[in-house]
């Protein structure tokens, strides 16, 4: 059991005296609604049963000791509550440090340091939000260890704040929200303009969610993520000269077509088109799911990929190959890239009997074309963060 291994590793490194607590926070996959969360649109992500395990013990001084079982070579990384600044060489520990810093900024200062061991069974840098998972597990730990009065929604907002302000990644709210607010068997239909949300059961009678990991590593910082954001911001300010809106998500497709010429550059017009149409697709997809029309939901997933490929241009040959090979297989209801793009994963809804041929055929075609293998995960939708022991 993973929980036991994490605790044992903690005891080997840091001793077994005192109270050791164990926690878990999930990763996430977004079913539809991509690059809409910083455009005031809707998203539809869910938490997974894979995620980040953490063993922790409070200290009596201000030291922090961090160890990740995923980055064993780095060994124990030491810091302190007096050194809460971003440091490139601090690697993954910038995520927990960013959370401690962000809590402090919100008036919740940790009164002592702690020792922390992490293990994640989400593939790193795959687009399943391993970093947001580390942020939320750390936030949950801070709340529990020091008795801070924060809701899970607060954890999501603090997580995004730390990612934006400490780690310098200009992400939206989707990842941290999906993880902090996860519910087993449900996706979260979130309006990022208002933070209103509803849980929608994902009932795929006779089908599974399959994640295909391209193994092309990406990081939001070095990707074109921030560039896409600013293209959308510029397009919005151009549109605002023609129509009264506060975000691209305020527009219907018809309104976009009516006002799109206010955007003076072809590329920017395509970016804005994606943001508007993807938001409307997400609303339609959730309605289709509620009407038990999984087929329609799948068609909208496919349309989402095409738009991300042609208009938003965030896919690349690896993700396109995974999706286009998936579309060839009987029993694939829908398939698209998920997350920021530029590498990472795709998400597909695949009929039970097609899962094995899917993995075999997409896997073989991908390796032949790209030159290295993809990984496949049949996933389950899980709950948000939890204390395990």
The residues annotated as belonging to the active site are 175
Cα→Cα distances 291→189, 216, 233, 287, Å? 15, 36, 35, 6
Q: Single out the segment in contact with ligand GLA by CB under 6 A; choices: 85-93, 166-174, 266-274, 292-300.
A: 166-174
Site track for ligand GLA across 13-52, x = CB under 6 A: ---------------------xx-xx--------------
User: Looking at beta carbons only, is 172 or 249 nearer to ligand GLA?
Assistant: 172
Note whether 375 and 244 are within 8 A (CB): no
**49 SS3 class:** strand
Considering the rule CB under 6 A, would residue 175 count as an interface residue with ligand GLA? yes
Considering the rule CB under 6 A, would residue 123 count as an interface residue with ligand GLA? no
- Residue of 283, 130, 106 whose CA lies nearest to 196: 283
Q: Which of 98, 172, 182, 385 binds ligand GLA (CB under 6 A)?
A: 172
Least distance between ligand GLA and beta carbon 7 (Å): 30
Contacts of 57 (CB under 8 A, 6+ apart): 10, 14, 18, 19, 20, 21, 114, 115
Say how far apart CA 39 and CA 329 lie, in whole Å.
Answer: 34
Q: Which of 333, 340, 354, 359 binds ligand GLA (CB under 6 A)?
A: 340
Q: Which of 84, 100, 174, 207 binds ligand GLA (CB under 6 A)?
A: 174
Strand order in the sheet with 345-351: 332-338, 345-351, 207-213, 375-379
Query: Which is it for strands 386-387 and 63-68: parallel, antiparallel or unpaired?
Result: unpaired
User: Looking at beta carbons only, is 23 or 38 nearer to ligand GLA?
Assistant: 38
Considering the rule CB under 6 A, would residue 343 count as an interface residue with ligand GLA? no
User: Looking at beta carbons only, is 178 or 329 nearer to ligand GLA?
Assistant: 178
User: Looking at beta carbons only, is 112 or 234 nearer to ligand GLA?
Assistant: 234
Site track for ligand GLA across 272-311, x = CB under 6 A: ----------------------------------------
Least distance between ligand GLA and beta carbon 131 (Å): 9
Total residues found in the chain within this entry? 389
Note whether 143 and 112 are within 8 A (CB): no
Q: Single out the segment in contact with ligand GLA by CB under 6 A; choices: 70-78, 80-88, 171-179, 251-259.
A: 171-179
Say how far apart CA 210 and CA 355 lie, in whole Å.
Answer: 8
- Residue of 388, 340, 312 whose CA lies nearest to 140: 388
Q: Applying CB under 6 A, which residues contact ligand GLA?
A: 34-35, 37-38, 171-172, 174-175, 339-340
């Amino acid at each position: 059991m993973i929980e036991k291994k994490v605790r044992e590793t903690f005891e080997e490194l840091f001793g077994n005296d005192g109270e050791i607590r164990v926690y878990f926070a999930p990763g996430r996959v977004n079913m539809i609604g991509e690059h809409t969360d910083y455009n005031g649109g809707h998203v539809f992500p869910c938490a997974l049963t894979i995620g980040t395990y953490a063993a922790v013990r409070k200290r009596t001084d201000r030291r922090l000791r961090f160890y990740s079982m995923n980055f064993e070579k780095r060994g124990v990384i030491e810091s302190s509550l007096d050194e809460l600044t971003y440091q490139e060489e601090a690697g993954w520990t910038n995520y927990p440090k960013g959370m401690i810093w962000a809590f402090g900024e919100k008036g919740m200062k940790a009164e002592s340091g702690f020792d922390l061991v992490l293990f994640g069974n989400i593939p790193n840098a795959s687009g399943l939000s391993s970093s947001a998972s580390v942020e939320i597990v750390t936030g949950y730990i801070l709340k529990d260890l020091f008795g801070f009065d924060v809701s899970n929604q607060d954890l999501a907002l603090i997580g995004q704040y730390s990612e934006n302000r400490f780690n310098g990644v200009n992400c939206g709210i989707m990842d941290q929200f999906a993880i902090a607010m996860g519910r087993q068997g449900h996706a979260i239909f979130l309006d990022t303009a208002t933070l209103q949300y509803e849980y929608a059961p994902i009932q795929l009678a006779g089908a599974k969610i399959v994640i295909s990991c391209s193994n092309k590593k990406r990081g939001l910082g070095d990707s074109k993520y921030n560039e896409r954001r600013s293209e959308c911001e510029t397009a919005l300010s151009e549109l605002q000269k023609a129509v009264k809106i506060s975000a691209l998500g305020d527009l219907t497709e018809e309104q976009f077509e009516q006002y799109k010429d206010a955007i003076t550059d072809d590329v920017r017009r395509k970016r804005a088109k994606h943001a508007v149409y993807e938001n409307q697709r997400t609303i339609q997809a959730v309605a289709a799911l509620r009407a038990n029309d999984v087929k329609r939901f799948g068609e909208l997933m496919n349309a989402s990929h095409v738009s991300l490929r042609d208009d938003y241009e965030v896919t690349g040959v690896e993700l396109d190959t995974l999706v286009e090979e998936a579309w060839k297989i009987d029993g694939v209801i829908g398939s698209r890239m998920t997350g920021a793009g530029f590498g990472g994963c795709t998400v597909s809804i695949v009929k039970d009997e097609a899962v094995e041929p899917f993995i075999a055929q997409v896997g073989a075609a991908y390796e032949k074309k790209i030159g290295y293998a993809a990984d496949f995960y049949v996933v389950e939708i899980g709950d948000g963060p939890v204390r395990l022991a």
